Amino acid sequence: MILKNRIAIVTGARVGIGRALALGFAGEGAHIVINDIQNEDASREVISQVQNMGRKAIHVQGDVALEEDVGRIVSATLDAFGRIDILVNNAGLRTIAYLGVENRPALEMEVKDWDRMIAVNLRGPFLMSKAVLPQMIKQRQGSIINISSGAGREGVPGKSAYCASKHGLEGFTKSLAGEVKAFNIRVNALAPGGRVDTDGLGGLPAGVIVPAGIFLASDDSRGITGESIIAKDWNQERGIEA
């Protein structure tokens, strides 16, 4: 078990990629802090699955775009486990439809919708990373994994806010990696390589991201930082079916 007794915070861990990574990490021995904007009842299934593997799991409700909530997530983690080895910045919005409106050109987008997308997808990873780094620096080790997207490398008409947030996340990843490398802390971006099926509409299974996620969280990725990995391609290069 290459993550035995490691402590991992996974934001947005109730469903989709976050859930898949939480369970994948637990399968490799990690104890999991499950964050979601919804209450603990909504995350009960994933909590039970982690515990059934013999690992510890706690749930901390919170909005990663709010500094007060982020502080509570990190404090609860340290109170429960005393350390933080892995942070997965997964919580995010994919479309403006999540905010009650359809995707639309930037010219027609309301400022509040733009602001919410940037707040969750970019401000959230900044706040979470800033909050865990003092503990990781104290430990002289850690791994931060920012869940990105192909939209962080290109433009998609009607999704300017989402693309901007993911382009920003890619830049943040590279910059932060250089800032904390001296403390043996790795910061990398990880994208699935296609649309992930989180709503039954088709797409890649969320599990496609797990093998590369485990690699980046583990000591096997020692020395790898500031990189942006496409999970689908990473799996294919290694003959992994996920």
Catalytic residue IDs: 162
SS3 call for 133: helix
Please name the residue that has the structure tokens 């947005």: 12
Q: Which two tokens stand for residue 18?
A: 């976050």
Q: Which two tokens stand for residue 25?
A: 């990490």
Query: Within 10 Å of residue 97's Cβ, how many Cβ atoms?
Result: 10
Q: Rounded CA gap, 102 and 105, in Å?
A: 10
CA end-to-end span of the chain? 19
- Kindly give, in sequence order, each residue whose CB lies less than 8 Å from that of residue 82, ignoring residues fewer than 6 positions away: none
Contact 191, 147 (CB under 8 A): yes
- Kindly give, in sequence order, each residue whose CB lies less than 8 Å from that of residue 107, ignoring residues fewer than 6 positions away: none
Beta bridge partners of 10: 34, 88
